[in-house]
Chain A
Amino acid sequence: MRALVAAALVALALPASAFAHANLTQREPDFGKRLATSPPAVLLHFDQGVDVFANSIEVRSARGALVTAGPARTIDKQRIATVPLRHLPKGAYTVRWHVTSFEGHVISGVYTFGVRVVAPPPTEAYGSAGPTTFEYIVRWGYFVGLALLVGGLAFRLLVVGKRATPALERRFYLVAMVGVLASIELGIVGFLLRARDAFQLPLGRLVYGDLSPLAQGTRFGTAFIAMTLGFALVAAILFLAWLTERPVLLWPAFVIGLVLCSGLSLSGHSAVDTGSSWRSELADWVHLSAACLWVGGLAQLAFVVWPSAPGLRREAFLRFSQLAAVLVGLMVGAGVYLAYVRLPQASDLWQERYGQVLLLKSALVGLALSWGALHHFVVRPALERGRGTGSRAISRSLLGESAVAMAVLLLAAVLVDANPPERPVKQPAAAISR
């Protein structure tokens, strides 16, 4: 015990290892700037002194050509790192920088600017890569979290209503909390992974990366900010509803959750690709929301109602069956419209990677719908006749349908990060934003 106290006192008294890291305070030209003329140099202002190497600041054109006119150096007591530029023709440019704080920390950043064109977002900077398999998995987990939350809330409010038992209520809140936490945490992980794609840095160096161009200069960043704040609010409301036993509070949580689904639609392909319009954004939101409500509702039926409220099984199944029919109709209708917008030709379905994934997803949706149809036409009549509520086969069948629906979400995660084939029309080069 004495040794522990002594160690704590020594650790407290001694200064931490002498590391200092500088912060970028200003960029010239600034991030996302559309310049009328070629800038003479790139200047990065820091709040502390920094060391640079000759290649510490690289400026590249959209095709990857290096456009610096000399080595990087520092000025103004080493607080400004600068590199001279050649005369830049019209186009988008990527600045990648790595400087060393006096105490040895390497800090990094990437940003873009344009000369007589709109600058692309950092996710489209030259040298950016991704997405990786891990990103697909994170995105999938995010979708599952969203489904558990939004679908769970819809199920609790529209299907269960006032018939909830204490045991069901406990399970419902547990599942919904898992959903909202997954949405928050995986949203943050997804944002950092996207930053890593843009920075092209290992994690150890990414932690000192300046994320502000990504957070504040892209649709993805705006969606990240709005959705993180929104889900934190939903978590707080959900907790208050549980604490005060007032299910009426679940309504605002549900509405906010449903609105937040639009964050993905407003920052994804449906908002920015060629042919996008408010109709494609709306269709994307309807598609995603209906899928979340359907998958989340199935999960509630399989993991909440069946094990914890046997008396509610029949009624919940029948009511959800009606809701699911509407949801599936909306999901399929919106999905077909989006496929029409995103795939210029029918042959893209088997010739392009995006089309192939879409085809596979459609096959899985078909399987899930067949499973749902089996429930609708076989299980439902049996339940209406008052039979089968104790059947384990139904429980297992519901779990199976839920598993297939979650597999559909995995393919949806792949599609979100994949680029649809380009339409053969002229488009402004730098207007693309993910």
Chain B
Amino acid sequence: MQPPPEVVHWMFGTGFVFLGLCLLAETIVGRKVWRRRAWRAYLWPSVAFLMGVFMWPVMVFFTSSAIHMLAHGVWAQAMMLAGAAQLGLVRGKLRNPLWELTLPFAFAVSGGAFLIHEQNPWLFSRAAFLHHALGWTAIVGALVTLALFARPRSPVFNAGFAVVFLAFSVLLFCDRNVAPIFGHLSPLAGGR
């Protein structure tokens, strides 16, 4: 009944590629042009929030280990929190700029969850490699969004923010349940 985990990862990869492209487009054309249509301001935060909502079924239906379940719960809440805070800021319901810090917080917590929940070494299998890479990408994302908080108009940091999501999507699309990484697959990984 359940789809293979790799299929679920591809679905979320699709969401991240959309987020990344929206943010990249906003960086290229500039915020003023991007927001000529008001709904565009809500686009990426809404998608992030929605992806958080859709992470809950993954959390409750994939319960092969407790740590796996908890990690997905953390990602669900991190995405909902970051998306909700951005929506609140865009809408004007939240006025304190410190709410922007929910983004680096969400990235840092998500990265930590990736790194803690993946117990295999980098080259154990492709999935293990990707989990490590995703974890560290999220940590980089936390640093980029922290820098963005300090310099919100910087095109470099805005582009970096978009690239983090694109990197997420590439890594998620590369996922296969049992596959080698750089020609290496641990004999314990079930690939024999």
Contacts and interface: CB of A to CB of B under 8 A. Distances in A.
Contacts of B121: 15-20
Contact of A229 (B57, B66, B124, B189): B57
A195 interface: yes
A243 interface: yes
**Interface magnitude class on chain B:** 35 or more
B123 A20 contact: no
A15 B65 contact: no
A303 interface: no
A211 B60 contact: no
B190 A216 contact: no
Interface in A68-102: 77, 101-102
A210 B56 contact: no
Interface stretch (B26-34, B84-92, B154-162): B84-92
Interface in A24-52: 24, 47-49
Contacts of B66: 192, 195, 206-209, 211
B39 interface: no
Contacts of A137: none
B65 A20 contact: no
B32 to A, nearest CB: 24
Contacts of B188: 20, 22, 48-49, 101-103
Contact of B56 (A19, A20, A229, A242): A229
B93 A243 contact: yes
**Interface magnitude class on chain A:** 35 or more
A239 B88 CA distance: 9
A24 B187 CA distance: 17
Contacts of A207: 65-67, 70
Contacts of A430: none
Given A15-B122, A19-B120, A20-B120, A236 B53 contact: yes
Given A23-B64, A210-B64, A16 B132 contact: yes
B118 A232 contact: no
Interface string A263-299: 0000000000000000000000000000000000000
A115 interface: no
B113 interface: no
A16 B118 contact: yes
Interface of B: 49, 53, 56-57, 59-61, 63-67, 69-70, 73, 76, 80, 84, 87-88, 91, 93, 115, 118-124, 132, 136, 178, 186-190, 192
Given A23-B64, A48-B189, A188-B73, 4 more contacts: A16-B119, A19-B119, A228-B56, A243-B93
